[in-house]
Structure 1
Amino acid sequence: MEIKLPLDAHLQAALNKVSAAFPELKLNQVLEAKIVVNQAQANLLTVNLAGKALTLQTPLPLPIAAGQSLQLQVVKLLPTPEFKLIAPALPANANPTTGGEAPLLKLAPTPTPLQAAVAGNPLTNLQLGQSVSAQVVSVGKQNVTLQLATAPPAGHTATDNAASRSLAQPIMLDSRQLIETDPAKPALMPGNRIELQLVKVGSQPLFSAKLAPADSGAELVAAAFKQALPQQSSPQVLLDRLDRGIGELVADKTVGETLKHLALQILRAIPDKSALFQPAGLKTAVAGSGLFLEAKLAQAGRQSSAPQTLMDDFKLRLGKFIAELALELKPAAAEHPTTSSTPLLTELLRQAEGSLAKLTLDQLHSLPKDDAPRQVWVLELPFLQNGKPDLLELVVEHERGGSGNPAGQNNWVVSITITPPELATIHCKLSCYDGSVNTRFWSESAETVEKINARLDYLRRQFEEKGLKPGFMDAQHGKPAQEHSPIASPQSLLSEKV
């Protein structure tokens, strides 16, 4: 006969707790976990283990960052589960009490949302309707970890005092306690700065969460730029629309002759594809690309008359075109405020401003940088392909003199992107080192790559006929690596260092 003795109530509660948290937990089992929050001051680690967020008590503060992966071994189940930290291995001075041995981590009691053990927790001081600033650290399936601001001064909410944004210890809330006030602008996303407002008190208080207003200087500047600056667009978009709409523009008698003349000038200045194959034609296209307008203006200021290259500059013509479009669309400047061409003019103005913004950013990218080993120029050259506007993207790099570049040796890299008729887009990189010209092609079309490979010998003979020394040549499927792209976006359009 089997005899079952009753278990002690405390032991049964402990078993139930372990079974609920870890249904398959076994001694000496090795588990993978990831740190959510390291509350070093409170000797607490919040980890994600098998999709559950658990808080572990550490013997001493551990030098482990949030997001780092851990390996934990189960060394004890009752009355409280304990784990040994296997990886990462900690140095001996990180835990002197154990002589460098792996520390033991105990399962800590689940903290309540308003647990006063977290020092400086401003939620404990909130009254109904009051708010506090916070930053979302992580979002789990059932909880949200927040980095809260310190407690606001008496009589003030967190939004009333900028000093209240100093950060306190992270805290974890049940996701059911947070109500997003604006579904169109999700607030509970890692990295977001939000405002929490207490809307219901009790054992499980409720908080409304919304995105905090952009009140810092950097955020205000960024928002102002987004609103004030036109959206960048390729000049090909403008040229295509101008080419399709030039007939309508010229036929409209309500449109000024100056605007028609400027539009025709822009289209007529586009060179044919064959001109870019000649050194003189390519040099003229690069000089008139708009990238060097300000340098030519400075040169013209030192001369009695403006050079012809200045009058043919694309950026100068674009600026005149934008100014004339604005005058045409200004009701006070026209006898007929609305005409049949008004939608076309409005579209052309938006696209012209976008082209000017793109060209200006290319100029910023092309400015010399003191700490860069090479000078880089970023250009977009329009040309005519079968009578229609097309675009050649060009990046030219010149390696500056230094320890790795002997005196008198010119090293150049030219990157070209083009989409020929009936072919996929082709990326080409030509590099000149030690007198040899190395050429590499990329395309996402296997057929295009095959056609390029079949003509590499012809290209090699063309280089030799021009007096160049051909080096390495190949064509690959895919895109060129962008890790060291010279046209990566700048961190900011403004620099506080003057």
Structure 2
Amino acid sequence: MRIDLNTIRSTGYAGQSPSLLSDWRVGAILQAVALRDARSGELWLKIGDARYAARIASGNAAGPADGEQLTVRVLRSSPVLALETLSTQQASGGDDVAADALRRFLPRQSSAAPLLSNLGWVANGKGAEALPPTVTQAANRLWQALPDAAALSDPDGLKTAVVRSGAFLESTLANGDRRTMAASVAQDVKALLLNFSRVLRDLGARPAAATAESTVHSPLPLASGPLTSLPAAPATLAVVDLPAQQMNELARQTDGALARMTALQAGASTQDPALQSMLVEIPVRHGDRANILRLRIEHDRSRQRDGGAGESWAIEAAMDLGHAGALHARVTLHGQRIGVQLRADSAGVVDTLISRAPELESMLREAGLEVDRVVCLHGLPAGDHGARPTRLLDLRA
């Protein structure tokens, strides 16, 4: 469905403030509410504090109902402002906490990749002398708390990285042992991000005043849909001269990373207790750079409920390898039967995976598992056919 907002003109759009423009950047997520005139049925969309007269240009002629809430993502800004509908929901006063959290944090979330590059830039002393010492100290603590890539090859190291990823901070605070809680929180990525945000704001940093455009296109932090890697991003502080502007940039990126992390936590809830799904994003240090490992863990008990032969697990992982492209892995476990599928952008990486596949299969058999298959493929998954369909909204600028 296409909707034209007749009151938005290209001259007015171009003349908006930088902070407002960042809200309409490609990849940004916005909240809109459909409003209908009681007598004429004329459609309006309320976005932020403004209302825009709207006209259905194509698709569903009826359009959204009065009060229907739309979560949309900006797809492009020219020649029209195109929005992709991610979800729709009728107005209701009984929304649950998770849905409310998604509405609040999805519009503010952004990839942590630019922030990670800037943390590495500061930690390696590249221009960090211009920043206040408390900022560099907080940035260094956060950088050093990120797990090293080599640690993820060890099961205990991977478990520790998941636990400290920020996904379980509130659970640790609510249920943790007071004697061990301080040590756990001190290394938690979300706790350190919150501390970094506080340090920046105490020194006058204003996220809305950031001037550098640091947003990178990234998949939404939702459990549905294909699991794609988060691409790396350059250190934007390298092109920002004044320390105050650098702190504004860091504050905006930190707020976006925290909003994304909170949206991931909210999205972990499910209506079906038989199928639990969680998406976790783990920042990983590799020398003076950092990448993001995305993990999706699914636990399916539906076979037990239906009288089947046991529960099943599925774990997906996706990571950007820089010049070597993206890597994707999917492991499924049904009882003691395991299947592994490995995919990569690079043919050279695929060749390496194929050469090591017999070794992996031998290790799995030695662990007492029945190996279904270990497959190595060139090219990433085409998509998740079970993902919810979306609608497109084109907003004319």
- Superposition pairs for residues 368-383 of structure 1, below 5 Å? 369-371=270-272, 373-383=274-284
- Superposition pairs for residues 242-253 of structure 1, below 5 Å? 242-246=119-123, 247=125, 250-252=128-130
Q: Which residue of 2 aligns with 1:362?
A: 264
Q: Percent identity?
A: 26
Is 1:309 matched with 2:191? Answer: no
Q: Indicate if the aligned counterparts of 2:149 and 2:285 stay in contact, CA closer than 8 A.
A: yes
Q: Which amino acid aligns with 2:188?
A: D
Is 1:461 matched with 2:338? Answer: no
Q: Which residue of 2 aligns with 1:190?
A: 58
Q: For 1:279 and 1:317, how far apart are their aligned partners in 2?
A: 24
- Secondary structure of 2:282's counterpart equals strand
Q: For 2:259 and 2:152, how far apart are their aligned partners in 1?
A: 25
Q: TM-score, normalised by structure 2?
A: 0.61
Q: For 1:226 and 1:303, how far apart are their aligned partners in 2?
A: 33
Question: CA 1:388 to 1:466, structure 2 compared with 1: closer, same or farther past 3 Å?
Answer: farther
Gaps of 5+ in 1: 1-134, 137-158, 168-184, 195-211, 332-338, 492-498
Is 1:426 matched with 2:327? Answer: yes
| Structure 1 position 351, deviation (Å) | 1.0
Q: Indicate if the aligned counterparts of 1:249 and 1:260 stay in contact, CA closer than 8 A.
A: no
- Superposition pairs for residues 128-207 of structure 1, below 5 Å? 162-165=38-41, 189-190=57-58
Higher relative contact order (CA 8 A, sep 6+): 2
Q: Indicate if the aligned counterparts of 1:438 and 1:472 stay in contact, CA closer than 8 A.
A: yes
- Secondary structure of 1:165's counterpart equals coil
Q: Which of the numbers 337, 347, 350 marks the counterpart of 2:252?
A: 350
Q: Indicate if the aligned counterparts of 2:122 and 2:139 stay in contact, CA closer than 8 A.
A: no
Q: Indicate if the aligned counterparts of 1:232 and 1:357 stay in contact, CA closer than 8 A.
A: yes
- Superposition pairs for residues 375-454 of structure 1, below 5 Å? 375-400=276-301, 402-404=304-306, 409-420=310-321, 422-454=323-355
Q: Which residue of 2 aligns with 1:281?
A: 157
Q: For 2:173 and 2:333, how far apart are their aligned partners in 1?
A: 32
| Structure 1 position 482, deviation (Å) | 1.1
Q: Which of the numbers 200, 203, 206 marks the counterpart of 1:325?
A: 200
| Structure 1 position 288, deviation (Å) | 0.7
Q: Which of the numbers 151, 166, 170 marks the counterpart of 1:290?
A: 166
Aligned-pair Cα RMSD in Å:
4.1
Question: CA 1:455 to 1:422, structure 2 compared with 1: closer, same or farther past 3 Å?
Answer: farther
Q: For 2:315 and 2:339, how far apart are their aligned partners in 1?
A: 10
Structure 1 segments of 4 or more deviating over 6 A?
220-223, 225-229, 488-491
Is 1:483 matched with 2:351? Answer: no
Q: For 2:70 and 2:364, how far apart are their aligned partners in 1?
A: 53
**Greater helix content:** 2
Deviations 1:402-436 (A, max 9, x none): 334658x4421100112336522111100111202
| Structure 1 position 284, deviation (Å) | 0.9
Q: Which residue of 1 aligns with 2:118?
A: 241
Gaps of 5+ in 2: 5-34, 44-52, 74-101, 207-240, 392-397
| Structure 1 position 303, deviation (Å) | 4.3
Question: CA 1:416 to 1:226, structure 2 compared with 1: closer, same or farther past 3 Å?
Answer: closer
Bigger Rg, which one: 1
Is 1:267 matched with 2:143? Answer: yes
| Structure 1 position 262, deviation (Å) | 1.6
Q: For 2:250 and 2:312, how far apart are their aligned partners in 1?
A: 41
Is 1:255 matched with 2:145? Answer: no
- Secondary structure of 1:239's counterpart equals helix
Question: CA 1:245 to 1:405, structure 2 compared with 1: closer, same or farther past 3 Å?
Answer: farther
Q: For 1:318 and 1:418, how far apart are their aligned partners in 2?
A: 22
- Secondary structure of 1:472's counterpart equals strand
Deviations 1:104-145 (A, max 9, x none): xxxxxxxxxxxxxxxxxxxxxxxxxxxxxxx89xxxxxxxxx
Q: For 2:105 and 2:360, how far apart are their aligned partners in 1?
A: 47
Q: For 2:367 and 2:286, how far apart are their aligned partners in 1?
A: 25
- Secondary structure of 2:316's counterpart equals strand
Q: TM-score, normalised by structure 1?
A: 0.50
Deviations 1:218-265 (A, max 9, x none): 459989x9999764222222111121134256423x6252x3322111
| Structure 1 position 161, deviation (Å) | 5.5
Q: For 1:307 and 1:380, how far apart are their aligned partners in 2?
A: 23
Question: CA 1:245 to 1:343, structure 2 compared with 1: closer, same or farther past 3 Å?
Answer: farther
- Secondary structure of 1:455's counterpart equals helix
Q: Which amino acid aligns with 1:475?
A: C
